[in-house]
Amino acid sequence: MVRKSFGIYSEDHSGCVLFIETGNDYIACWCNHIETKQAKAFELFNFMQSDATDFDKLLKQVQTHSRLLTESFEKVYCIWSDEKCICIPHEFYRDEIAGRYMQTMFGDNFETTFYKDNLNDYVVLAALQQQAASAFENYYTIDANVHKYFQLLKAYQNGIEENTIHLVFYPTYFIVSAFKEGRLQLIQSFSYKLPEDVLYHVIRVCNAFELSLNDTRVYASGMIDTNSPLYQSLYGYINNFSFELTDKDLFAAEEFHQYPLHYFTSFCQYDV
């Protein structure tokens, strides 16, 4: 069963690009103006992971509740937020053995299409969710497939040589990106049920890469509230904990500002 969690719209969506982000249990859609980069609309649909086994049927259900997926846009980008993604240094990457990289990391035989993006000195390689991608292609002309990790890393790497950890929260999992002196150490997704689960993974990442939790800046975005046990636990334990900075001017639709903007930062604020 599909549940629509957000439906935020401006009056005019002309001149916008559509982004469709697909995770294991959600689809998020938003449109940004091509020139100003302002977010004009946002939708979030949640469902059970088992509902996605027949993705075409699921997509049709989402479309019946979506305004953005029934409008026409000049360009459409698909962003995939699944765990089948790795970062490989340029010097070790070769297209012809892309499947072997994925098999080494995840232990599966990958008979699918791979897609990649180059960022600084490494390649972000991912396995395409073929069934879901085909379903989208039945309705839209997809200009590019981009992995969520690439979108986040592109936003986080600002050339500053400092120790940082970025946390992006979804209802059942979160994405951790760790940087040591500005260089990427890890980007990975972790499931969680309790605040202690999140703290455990953050501490473990710090220990693995010799990042002092006292000195490392930890930034959060996504579905986390200041009055939640999760926030209270992180804020109480981590010295330099804060939300990601948001550019209020980028959120053009008035209804965005009825919610904490960090909900939407990792979706609408970061370019692909």
pLDDT digits 0-9 by tens, 69-124: 999 999 999 999 999 999 999 999 999 999 899 999 988 777 778 999 999 899 99
Residue 255: what pLDDT? 97
Total Cβ atoms within 10 A of residue 265: 23
What does the pLDDT read at residue 107? 83
Does residue 217 surpass a pLDDT of 80?
A: yes
Give the domain ranges of the chain.
85-127, 156-269
Rounded average pLDDT over 127-131: 93
- Number of Cβ atoms within 10 Å of the Cβ of 240: 14
pLDDT at 144: 97
Distance CA 260, CA 220 (A): 12
**CA triple 190-178-159, angle to 5 deg:** 145
Q: What is the mean pLDDT of residues 176-188?
A: 96
Q: What angle do CA 121, 123, 125 make, to 5 degrees?
A: 165
CATH architecture of 156-269: 2-Layer Sandwich (3.30)
Confidence label for 188 from pLDDT (cuts 50, 70 and 90): very high
Which amino acid is residue 261, in one-letter code? L
Instruction: Report percent pLDDT > 90 for the chain.
Output: 92
- 209 CB burial (10 A radius; 0-12, 13-18, 19+): middle
Mean pLDDT, rounded, for 4-29: 97
CA distance readout (Å), 95 to 14, 47, 92, 102, 119: 38, 35, 10, 12, 16
Report the distance separating Cα 107 and Cα 125, nearest Å.
Answer: 16
Residue 160 confidence (pLDDT): 81
Tell me the whole-structure pTM to 2 decimals.
0.95
∠ CA 208-209-212, rounded to 5°: 100
In this model, does residue 136 exceed pLDDT 90? yes
